[in-house]
Amino acid sequence: MRTQVAIIGAGPAGLLLSHLLHLRGVESVVLETRSREYVEKRVRAGVLEYPTTELLREVGLGERMDAEGLVHHGISLRFDGADHRIGFDDLLGKSITVYGQQEVVKDLIAARLRDGGELRFEVSETTVHDVSSDHPRVTFTDAAGVASELVCDVIAGCDGFHGISRPSIPEAVLTGHEHIYPFAWLGILAKAAPVRDELVYTRSERGFTLYSMRSPEITRLYLQVSPDTDLTEWPDDRIWAELHARMAIDGGEQVNEGPLLEKSVTPMRSFVASPMRHGRLFLAGDAAHIVPPTGAKGMNLAIADVKLLAEAFTALLKDNRSELVESYSDTALRRVWRAEHFSWFMTSMLHLDPAADEFQRQLQLSQLRYTASSTAAATSLAENYVGLPFS
């Protein structure tokens, strides 16, 4: 087999890259270990930044997002027994959209199949070769058990943190920067109507809580827990009781309860791989970086990466210009580190560190009070939250 761009991974990054390349007249093949059904149902992040929604509309992927997505014009920081709203519209004239990652994936798969895109699901034994040459290769076994080889000009590793792309880069070349947080999130998806139309980030003496939603009928909620939490110790009634206790404010609404559709524990960590390129193998999305979900940056960073890659690959393969592929890693990492800092800022400002003393806790409250009362501080938070313009 022969193509111009081999894309490993059919998440939002890989699928959007394939779509962007198609619009520029560049061929690609997408390889994915999971089934189509699995990737279309895989629940992940749901917050789309303003630049992300603008890009999706520009490339013909905004119709269902605009019809079904929930537009949010701000968020609330809940502390000191009260809500403190950060209004994005008031400060910036911009908004975010809550639209699940799985919905973005469905839209992308439909668009690629409509346009004749080659998506290969349920492949195995995927391996990259000759990435230092002008014609790298990807070998894999297809869904029918047939061993195959894909010769290409460049490879995009969009296969997530646990994929094969990043480990394919020699350890002597790649540097990994990692920070592990001393807590995790217990997340639930509940069949319960939201009582709010914007996200609420709560800092309480019992721990952090995030109140969000996926639709007018479904809420998504998170509790700060210990990294070694056993889900069997958290029956449904305990989860609801803790949510009520942490989110309680004088005169405030209660959280609607309902059947739990999903329950999981997610560790909190930050990770950045540098550089994001080795030869003709390029990393994008979670294959290159992980952010704690507090800042809602994960999927948006992946989309920013592949926007850069689509432009760089087009310049290389159609115009024989290499400056954009040469600068890809440096350009992408500038945005990555900004997002890492913002995600760390939101996480440290809202979570209770079990090792923190009273001095540190008072500093945390001071930061929250300043952010909520200062127009300059609130604007900085809003600017980072809704998303900085693409490079």
Do 60 and 163 share a structural domain? yes
The residue annotated as part of the active site, out of 19, 22, 72, 289, is: 72
Whether residue 228 is contained in a domain is answered as: yes
Is the four-CA dihedral 224, 225, 226, 227 of positive or negative sign? Answer: negative
The residue annotated as part of the active site, out of 297, 307, 328, 351, is: 297
38 flagged as catalytic:
no
pLDDT tens digits, one per residue of 3-33: 999 999 999 999 999 999 999 999 999 999 9
Do 199 and 167 share a structural domain? no
Do 362 and 331 share a structural domain? no
The residue annotated as part of the active site, out of 50, 222, 328, 385, is: 385
222 flagged as catalytic:
no
Do 223 and 106 share a structural domain? no
Tell the burial category of 386 from Cβ atoms under 10 Å away from its Cβ (0-12, 13-18, 19+): buried
Do 170 and 108 share a structural domain? yes
Nearest to 218 by CA among 189, 252, 254: 189
The residue annotated as part of the active site, out of 201, 211, 222, 328, is: 201
Count of domains forming the chain? 2
Whether residue 79 is contained in a domain is answered as: no
pTM assigned to the model = 0.94
Report, as an integer, the average pLDDT of 177-206: 94
Residue 250 has pLDDT above 80, yes or no: no
Whether residue 369 is contained in a domain is answered as: yes
201 flagged as catalytic:
yes
| Tokens matching residue 128 | 């990259």
Give 284-337 as a DSSP string: -GGGTEE--GGG--HHHHHHHHHHHHHHHHHHHHHH---HHHHHHHHHHHHHHH
| Tokens matching residue 73 | 């014009």
**Can you give the pLDDT at residue 251?**
57
Amino acid, res. 21: L
385 flagged as catalytic:
yes
Do 104 and 34 share a structural domain? yes
Q: Is the peptide bond before 293 cis (omega within 30 degrees of 0)?
A: no
Q: How far apart are CA 13 and CA 381, in angstroms?
A: 25
H/E stretch holding 114 reads helix 101-114
Do 342 and 217 share a structural domain? no
Instruction: Give the domain extent around 287.
Output: 5-73+95-178+269-346
Check which CATH number belongs to the domain holding 199 and give it: 3.30.9.10
Do 251 and 109 share a structural domain? no
Check which CATH number belongs to the domain holding 287 and give it: 3.50.50.60
Tell the burial category of 266 from Cβ atoms under 10 Å away from its Cβ (0-12, 13-18, 19+): middle
328 flagged as catalytic:
no
Do 256 and 141 share a structural domain? no
Percent of the chain with pLDDT over 70: 99
Whether residue 323 is contained in a domain is answered as: yes
